[in-house]
């Protein structure tokens, strides 16, 4: 009886919350929880998947997301605070980063001519944050410019860069996995923001300078890049 | 009026098709089928193509009711694909282009699939899932390129399926993937298999080596049947494909999906993609085996677009290449 009441409480809570967006994996709501502005990420059932596969994947991703966020936080990387997790509805209650915009919007809204100049400091910052994350052996798994938030600081202050959306993340010390992580970002970066190759190179340089284990990772990145090109493409 | 003939033979299918302003006039094809448990090797495949190509060419012209003089352009697969089969077909295309005194056009095989899919389905600007024995890519058009948003970081999904078919020795006639699909319909037990999505990319080598190693043990121990494994393999790899397609759609804000390539014939994949699309109010476009599977008309169609936008391939540039990225081609026929 008590368990049923608990299980019904989350959906009821969410039905009164403001639905911000429905992504591919989860619905994202804005609400207030414990008196604070909160984002609730609810992973819903994907109907196209076999139920057993769906349950395994959804549970695994919820757990991985929370674990990685906590690990990053302990290492001093800016990520949202985790307030609460419910494993029956696969919902994560996170701190809302109020007054932020995605790095994607930031790059897209700057004029094409200035695109590579004005954004260099930002690219360097991203490289540094990713280096810290990889040095913690956290593989984000889904690095895109939509998964990075910039919160404007006070008038004269620096803006804060947050990483979000750790649903595909896992822990690994392997340079291969870190290389693939950067490869995923490179592809997402260049396909979303055409003609920004120089900007991404800046990011990589900054990453290499900031990370203690970067040379093996960059080497793997170069290998993975070639893999796409060396693969037998029959059929 | 523009009539283009297209030559395709990058893998084990040899097809020649003729297109006239968006109408498929003929599209004959032959498939080199190997015994169960065996894949197809380049030299044997090239030998097969050499033996039948002139017959198929005759069929293409006869079925279209045309003479060589009626053709405006000779298109052929420049790549990607297997070396010797590509050479075999390119050689014939170059020869007839010179004999008939018609311009030549080297076409990217992947773009052939995309342009045929667009023609048949009339999809406006879809997110394209291109899945076959040799390729697995999620593609979206942007600024004169077919950009690859997601792809396999190792082997293609069709390759994974074909290799599993060899392990359990099912027939390659008409294709291993088709037979896996039929067996999967009789499977019911879901067996957990490795599932690997990395951002917008997928990886199939893990699940392939897992299933190659474990299949016989699982079947002989009675844990599950071959049908159950076919079922589980499809459910797993197709879920991965639907997931990366959905991610790309969410990223691009797209409301249409087009599936092309041989694996696109699979009705279960189409069904799963359809469920995902319905949930997002998106539209699904797919073609049937005439156009999903490698064929000559798709090369003719891409050639038609390229030719009309002013492209031509000089004889000295008509070499073939085994590796040819989809995003290498400048899409001059779209803006």
Is a pLDDT exceeding 60 seen at residue B120?
Answer: yes
pLDDT tens-place string over residues B314-329:
999 999 999 999 999 9
What's the average model confidence in pLDDT over B140-164?
Answer: 93
B135 with B1: CB under 8 angstroms? no
Chain A residues close to B247, C-beta within 8 Å: 24
Question: Using the beta-carbon criterion (under 8 Å), do B198 and A184 form an inter-chain contact?
Answer: yes
Residues (pLDDT < 70) of chain A are: 1-7, 112-118, 153-157, 228-235
Query: Who among A49, A229, A231 is closest to B239 (CB)?
Result: A49
DSSP string, A200-211: HHHHHHHHHHH-
Looking from the CA of B114 toward its CB, the CA atoms found within 13 Å total 29
Q: What local confidence, expressed as pLDDT, does residue B252 receive?
A: 84
Name residues whose C-beta falls within 8 Å of residue B257's C-beta, 6 or more positions apart in sequence: B126, B127, B128, B129, B245, B249, B273, B277, B282, B283, B284, B285
pLDDT tens-place string over residues B156-210:
999 999 999 999 999 999 999 999 999 999 999 999 999 999 878 899 999 999 9
Q: Which residues of A touch B (CB under 8 A)?
A: 22-24, 46-50, 52-53, 56-57, 141-144, 146, 168, 180, 183-185, 187-188, 191-192, 194, 224, 227-235
Q: What residues of B form the annotated binding site?
A: 109, 113, 130-134, 162, 177, 181, 266, 294
What's the average model confidence in pLDDT over B222-226?
Answer: 94
Q: Tell me, yes or no, if A142 is annotated catalytic.
A: yes
A-B CB pairs within 8 A amount to 119
Shortest distance, CA A167 to any CA of chain B (angstroms): 10
> How far apart (Å, rounded) are the C-alpha atoms in residues A92 and A87?
9
Question: Using the beta-carbon criterion (under 8 Å), do A235 and B192 form an inter-chain contact?
Answer: no
Question: Residue by residue, what is the 3-state secondary structure of chain B?
Answer: CCEEEEEECCCCEEEEEEEECCEEEECCEEECCCCCCCCCCHHHHHHHHHHHHHHHHHHHHHHHCCCHHHCCEEEEEEECCCHHHHHHHHHHHHHHHHHHCCCEEEEEHHHHHHHHHHHHHCCCCCEEEEECCCCEEEEEEECCEEEEEEEECCCCHHHHHHHHHHHCCCCCCCCHHHHHHHHHHCCCCCCCCCCCEECCEECCHHHHHHHHHHHHHHHHCCCCCHHHHHHHHHHHHHHHHHHHHHHHHHHHCCCEEEEECHHHHCHHHHHHHHHHHHHCCCEEEECCHHHHCCCHHHHHHHHHHHHHCCCCECHHHCCCCCCCCHHHCCCCCCC
Whether residue A109 has a cis bond before it, omega within 30° of 0 = no
pLDDT tens-place string over residues B245-267:
998 998 888 999 999 999 999 99
Q: Of A154 and B8, which is predicted with more confidence?
A: B8
Q: What residues of B form the annotated binding site for substrate?
A: 130-134, 162, 177, 181, 266
Q: What local confidence, expressed as pLDDT, does residue B199 receive?
A: 77
B144 with B333: CB under 8 angstroms? no
> How far apart (Å, rounded) are the C-alpha atoms in residues A187 and A126?
16
Is a pLDDT exceeding 80 seen at residue B78?
Answer: yes
The proportion of chain B whose per-residue pLDDT surpasses 90, expressed as a percent, equals 93
Q: What local confidence, expressed as pLDDT, does residue A13 receive?
A: 87
Query: Who among A57, A188, A228 is closest to B195 (CB)?
Result: A57
Q: What local confidence, expressed as pLDDT, does residue A49 receive?
A: 97
> How far apart (Å, rounded) are the C-alpha atoms in residues B143 and B140?
10
What's this model's pTM, rounded to 2 decimal places?
Answer: 0.88
Chain A residues close to B254, C-beta within 8 Å: none
Question: Using the beta-carbon criterion (under 8 Å), do B192 and A47 form an inter-chain contact?
Answer: no
């Amino acid at each position: 009886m008590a368990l049923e009441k608990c299980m019904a409480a989350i959906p009821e809570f969410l039905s009164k919350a403001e639905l911000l967006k429905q992504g591919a994996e989860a619905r994202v709501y804005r609400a207030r929880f414990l008196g604070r502005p909160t984002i609730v990420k609810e992973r819903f059932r994907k109907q196209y998947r076999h139920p057993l596969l769906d349950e395994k994947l959804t549970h695994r991703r919820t757990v991985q997301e929370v674990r990685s966020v906590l690990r990053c936080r302990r290492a001093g990387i800016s990520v949202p605070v985790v307030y609460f997790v419910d494993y029956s509805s696969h919902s994560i209650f996170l701190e809302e980063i109020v007054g932020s915009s995605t790095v994607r919007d930031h790059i897209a809204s700057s004029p094409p001519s200035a695109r590579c100049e004005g954004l260099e400091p930002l690219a360097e910052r991203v490289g540094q944050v990713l280096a810290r994350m990889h040095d913690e052996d956290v593989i984000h798994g889904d690095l895109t410019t939509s998964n990075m938030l910039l919160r404007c600081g006070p008038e004269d202050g620096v803006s804060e860069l947050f990483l979000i959306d750790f649903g595909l993340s896992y822990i690994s010390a392997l340079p291969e996995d870190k290389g693939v992580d950067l490869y995923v970002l490179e592809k997402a970066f260049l396909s979303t923001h055409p003609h920004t190759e120089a900007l991404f190179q800046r990011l990589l340089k900054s990453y290499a300078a900031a990370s203690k284990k970067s040379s093996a990772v960059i080497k793997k990145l170069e290998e993975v890049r070639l893999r796409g090109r060396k693969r037998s493409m029959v059929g | 009026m523009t009539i283009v003939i297209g030559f395709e033979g990058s893998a084990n299918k040899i097809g020649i098709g003729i297109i006239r302003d968006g109408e498929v006039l003929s599209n004959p094809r032959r498939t080199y089928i190997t015994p169960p448990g065996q894949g197809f090797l380049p030299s044997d495949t090239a030998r097969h193509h050499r033996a039948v190509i002139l017959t198929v060419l005759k069929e293409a012209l006869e079925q279209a009711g045309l003479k060589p003089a009626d053709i405006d352009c000779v298109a052929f697969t420049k790549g990607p694909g297997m070396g010797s089969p590509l050479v075999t077909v390119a050689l014939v295309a170059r020869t007839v282009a010179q004999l008939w005194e018609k311009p030549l056009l080297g076409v990217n095989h992947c773009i052939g699939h995309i342009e045929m899919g667009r023609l048949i389905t009339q999809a406006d600007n879809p997110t394209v899932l291109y899945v076959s024995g040799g390729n697995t890519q999620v593609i979206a058009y942007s600024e004169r390129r077919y950009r690859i948003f997601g792809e396999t970081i190792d082997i293609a999904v069709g390759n994974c399926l074909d290799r599993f078919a060899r392990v359990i020795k099912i027939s390659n006639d008409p294709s291993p993937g088709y037979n896996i699909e039929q067996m999967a319909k009789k499977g019911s037990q879901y067996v957990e298999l490795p599932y690997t999505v990395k951002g917008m990319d997928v990886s199939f080598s893990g699940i392939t080596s897992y299933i190659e190693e474990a299949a016989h043990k699982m079947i002989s121990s009675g844990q599950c049947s071959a049908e159950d494994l076919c079922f589980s393999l499809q459910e797993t790899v197709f879920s991965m494909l639907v997931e990366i397609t959905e991610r790309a759609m969410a990223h691009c804000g797209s409301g249409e999906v087009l599936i092309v390539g041989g694996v696109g014939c699979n009705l279960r994949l189409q069904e799963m993609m359809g469920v995902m699309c319905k949930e997002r109010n998106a539209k699904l476009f797919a073609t049937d085996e005439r156009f999903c599977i490698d064929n000559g008309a798709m090369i003719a169609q891409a050639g038609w677009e390229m030719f009309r936008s002013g492209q031509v391939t000089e004889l000295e540039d008509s070499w073939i290449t085994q590796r040819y990225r989809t995003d290498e081609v400048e899409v001059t026929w779209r803006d």
